[in-house]
Amino acid sequence: MPLTDKIIQFGEGGFLRGFADWMVKILNEEADFNAAVTVVQPIKQGMCETLSKQNCNYTHIMRGLRGGEAVIEQKYIDVISRCVEPYKDFEGYLSLAENKDFRFVISNTTESGIAFNGEDKPENAPEITFPAKVTLLLKRRFDLGLKGFIFLPCELIEKNGETLKKYILDYARIWSLGDDFISFVENDNIFCNTLVDRIVTGYPKDEDLELKGQDNMLNTSELFHLWVIEGPDSIKKEIPFDKTNLNVIFTDNLDIYRTRKVRILNGAHTSMIPYAMLCGIETVKDCMDNKEMYAFLERCVFEEIIPTLDMPENELKGYANEVFERFKNPFIKHLCASISLNSVSKFKVRVLPSLLEYVKRFGKTPHNLVFSLAKLIEFYKRGTPTDEEAIISFMREKSVKEILSNKDFWGEDISFLLCEVEKYVD
C-alpha cells in the first residue's frame, strides 16, 4: 500500500534513522500504521542530499548480545518519502503545514537545538532557531484552520516537550502573533516529554559488512532500544505501539524512568571510568572483561544504587542486567576516555545522589560509591582528566578536604565523607 504522510521529522542523522524511522518501519509492518516520514534538515549542512540520491532508503543493522549470544539483525528502511531543506527552500518547508495528513512531529536537533533567541525575527528565516522555525510552521497551519500536531522531541534535555512548547509560545508573544494563535498552540497541539535510549553507531567506516550494492546511508546500532513517552492516553490510539513488541512505554511520570537511566546506566559509567582509566583499561567492553572491575561495578549498581531507587526491585534489576549486557557488546568500542569528559559534573548528577540517598536511608556510607569518589579525585590528581582547566587545577592543587568542601563542584559540602574517602585516595 502507498504510505500516507503522517510524520514531519526534524533531523536526518544516524540516531533518528536508527531509532524513530526504524520504529515506524515496524509499525507499518506489524500494526498497519501506513506512515510516511518527511525529513526536514534542521541546519544548513546535513545529509539530505546524500539520502535523497538513494531514494531516501537505507539499511539499518543492529548488533549486540541477547542472552549472552552475539546477535546481528538488519532491516531495510523505506519509510522516508522525501527530504526538505529549509535553507534552500523555506517556502517549501512552510508548505508542509498545508498537508492535513501530517499529525506527528519528531525531532532530534541535539541538546542545543531546543533554544530561544530573542533576536530571532520571522523575516530572518531560515536563519532562526529550531523552535522559531516550528512557530512559523504552526502559524501557517493555524491560518489554514487545520488540526495541530503531536510533538515527540528526542533531544536529550529534561522536559524536552514542555521546553519546546515554552519557546514557541515565547516567539508567538514577541512576534505578536495573537491570542488566538497562542490558544491554538496551547490547546490544539500535544507536546510530549520523552526519554530515548539507544546507542546508534552510524556508518561503519572501518568495517566490511558484505552488503549487496553501495549504501552511503548505511546505519548501525545496538539491539537495545527504549522510548518513554509522557503524554495523554489518546496518543496510544493514534500511534499503535501496543500492537508491536517495541520497547515503548507511555507514562504520566517520565521522571522515574529518567532517574533510573541516569542513576543506573550513566551512574555505572561514571562510577567506574576514573578507576578503570587509572588501571589502564581502554574501553567499556574491556571493563566488563576484567573480573575485578566487573565485580566492583556489580557491587555499585546492585548493592548501592538500586536500593536507593523507588521502583519495583525486579524492574530495576532487569534494567540493570540489560545495561550490563549492553556494556559487554562486542560490536561497540566505547572508549573510557570519551566517557571521562567532565567527570566532576557528571559525578554530581549521576552518582552523588545515589551515594547521599544511601546514607540517608541506611545511616552508613556505601563503600563502593565512596571508593569511586576517591578514584575520581585520584584520577584528577595523577591521571588524564578532560575538563575545564580551573577544575583540573583545583583538584590537583587542593587537599581532599578542600575538594569535598567545594559546593560549586558537588552542590553542597560533602566533607563529612573525608575519613572514608581518604582511605582510598592513593
**First-last CA distance in the chain:** 66
247 and 259 inside one domain: no
20 and 139 inside one domain: yes
Q: Which of 138, 135, 132, 42 is nearest to 87 (CA)?
A: 42
* Domain, as residue range, for 363: 255-422
Domains in the chain, number: 2
pLDDT range class, residue 303, cuts 50, 70, 90: very high
261 and 365 inside one domain: yes
Last residue of a domain, one of 235, 251, 267: 251
Mean pLDDT of 48-72: 96
CA angle 219–220–222, rounded 5-degree value: 150
193 and 335 inside one domain: no
Q: Which of 106, 103, 104, 188 is nearest to 139 (CA)?
A: 188
- The whole-number pLDDT of residue 6 equals 98
Instruction: Tell me the whole-structure pTM to 2 decimals.
Output: 0.90
Question: Do β-strands 58-66 and 35-40 pair in parallel, antiparallel, or remain unpaired?
Answer: unpaired
Mean pLDDT of 396-407: 97
218 and 335 inside one domain: no
139 and 209 inside one domain: yes
DSSP class of 283? B
391 and 362 inside one domain: yes
Residue 111 pLDDT exceeds 80: no
Last residue of a domain, one of 251, 270, 301: 251
Last residue of a domain, one of 209, 235, 251: 251
Mean pLDDT of 245-255: 96
CATH at 137: 3.40.50.720
351 and 244 inside one domain: no
CATH at 380: 1.10.1040.10
Residue 124 pLDDT exceeds 90: yes
328 and 210 inside one domain: no
pLDDT range class, residue 8, cuts 50, 70, 90: very high
- The whole-number pLDDT of residue 1 equals 73
239 and 314 inside one domain: no
Q: What is the pLDDT of residues 179-238, one digit of tens each?
A: 999 999 999 999 999 999 999 989 888 776 766 678 999 999 999 999 999 999 999 999
236 and 288 inside one domain: no
391 and 325 inside one domain: yes
